[in-house]
Amino acid sequence: MPETLWLSEGGEEIQKLVKRVASARRVVVVTGAGISVNCGIPDFRSSSGLFKQIQASHGDVVSKGRDLFDASVVFRTAQATRIFYEWMTHLREQCERAQPGVVHAFIRQLADRGQLQRSYTQNIDGLERKAGLEVWDPHCPTTSPECVPWQQAQSIPLHGTMDRLTCQLCSSSDSHNAVAGDSCSDCMSRSQQREQLGRRALATGTLRPAVVLYGEPHPHSEDIARIIGHDTRALQGRKRATHDVLLVLGTTLKVPGCKQLVRQLAAAPTTTTIVVNNEHVCGRVWDNIVDYQIIGCVDDWCSRVQRVWAAQTKITQWTRVRKTLPANCSAKGQKVTGERRSTTKKENVNYVVDETVESQTRKVDHVVVEIVQSQKRRARDNDSIECTQPEPKRWRAELPMRRSARIAMRESIELYHQSLSICT
């Protein structure tokens, strides 16, 4: 079985995995309904999920909540179809009000850092687009400026999206004013044109959400298979020296298509597969596929990775400041003798940096003292009471430079200490 870890307990192994994700060359993310619960959208299978709500409200029509998302049940009777459209309209309103959460911001940050290979989502809420990701939309016309080619898409909605409604008859789409269950405007327009010509009227289709239900074929399965194949070859073509990560967040891995997706992407030898969910989801069936199973909140997991990124940014800023210092004020560590050095790496770095600051400060102070003493000697030799500036222009030029270097060094060291505190 995959190695199981509890996020609340922390530990060295959790920290290693967090750092591995933070420093991964490429990351593929597969997400489920669990990442949108904190955004105000219910999941499907939990005790308070959408399936339980539907069963409690319409137990006389459907035997279980899942049936309202089953194509063989929904369109069997007019009453079931009406209830389906009502729930889809309610769910669409929830999706429109919801805002992206921690996981969505984490995926966007992966994309901004150049680490995101692709994000595959089973969700139909469209929060990835609100988070600023480039989302592939197969219903969008290729001539539209909003169309994103799949090669450039950062997020792939596996089960469609609530943003659009499609006609069951002519497959035309509407993304704005229409409501699920309304008649298709394109079908009505064509029928009216025929009637004006004295011909018989055509059948009019009904708009439904552009989502894939249980028991119906996926209309864009070939396109999605092409994208998955491309990403699989990209992961398998990596050198063994690099490491990639497959992150599975907030899903129970019960949908067959999602199972196959994870199996295919996890086959690359250099890929580490990590599943994060608030409950145990991986059994023996996932042996040699999933490497680690982390039980805990997905938001907490993503926040930990973001804190590591923040610490890396602080250290990078400190390094850039250090490189701008004069050569005689370099903050490179020097060998410390006379006292025992700390045992841990963090304490070791702190000790070396502190000793370096003291050493460089003593050098600058020594130079300043020499300048003042030189001024006093010259004043005495000239029988002058006031302390005059030294004659050589070199001293007048170097004194403010050394003082500014000293201030810059202290600011950079303070910035470095702040970055170390974030790491902990």
Residues forming beta bridges with residue 248, ordered by sequence position: 30, 275
CB-count burial class (<10 Å; 0-12, 13-18, 19+) for 201: exposed
**DSSP bridge partners of 207:** 167
* Residue 189 burial (C-beta neighbours within 10 Å; 0-12, 13-18, 19+): exposed
User: Is 139 a residue of the active site?
Assistant: no
What is the reported pLDDT for 47?
A: 72
- The pLDDT assigned to 387 comes to 43
Under 8 Å CB-to-CB from 40, ≥6 apart: which residues? 94, 97, 98
pLDDT string in tens for the chain (424-residue length):
788 999 988 889 999 999 999 999 999 999 998 999 889 888 777 777 787 888 777 777 777 778 888 888 888 888 888 888 888 888 888 888 999 999 999 999 999 999 999 999 999 999 999 999 999 988 887 777 778 888 899 999 999 988 888 898 888 887 667 788 888 888 999 999 999 998 998 998 889 888 999 888 998 999 999 999 999 998 887 666 568 999 999 999 988 899 999 999 998 888 999 999 998 988 888 988 999 999 999 999 999 999 999 888 766 666 666 666 555 454 444 443 444 444 444 444 444 444 554 555 555 556 556 666 666 676 666 544 444 444 444 445 555 555 665 666 666 666 655 555 554 4
Dig out the tokens for 192 from the structure: 């009216």
Work out the angle at residue 82's Cα, subtended by the Cα atoms of residues 46 and 253, and round it to the nearest 5 degrees: 25
CA pair distance 166, 172, nearest whole angstrom: 6
> What does the DSSP 8-state code read for residue 340?
P
Q: What's the pLDDT at 351?
A: 43
d(CA 160, CA 121): 9
Which pTM value belongs to this model? 0.72
Choice among 139, 159, 176, 230 that is catalytic: 159
pLDDT of res. 156: 95
Q: What is the pLDDT of residue 80?
A: 87
Distance of CA 383 to the CA centre of its chain: 73
CA neighbor of 256 nearest in space, from 244, 264, 268: 264
| Structural tokens at position 122 | 């089973």
Distance (Å, whole) CA 131 – CA 231: 22
Q: Strands across the sheet with 271-277, in order?
A: 3-6, 292-295, 271-277, 244-249, 27-31, 116-121, 155-157
Q: Which residues pair with 271 in a beta bridge?
A: 244
Residue 242 is predicted with a pLDDT of: 67
Tokens of 283: 């059994």
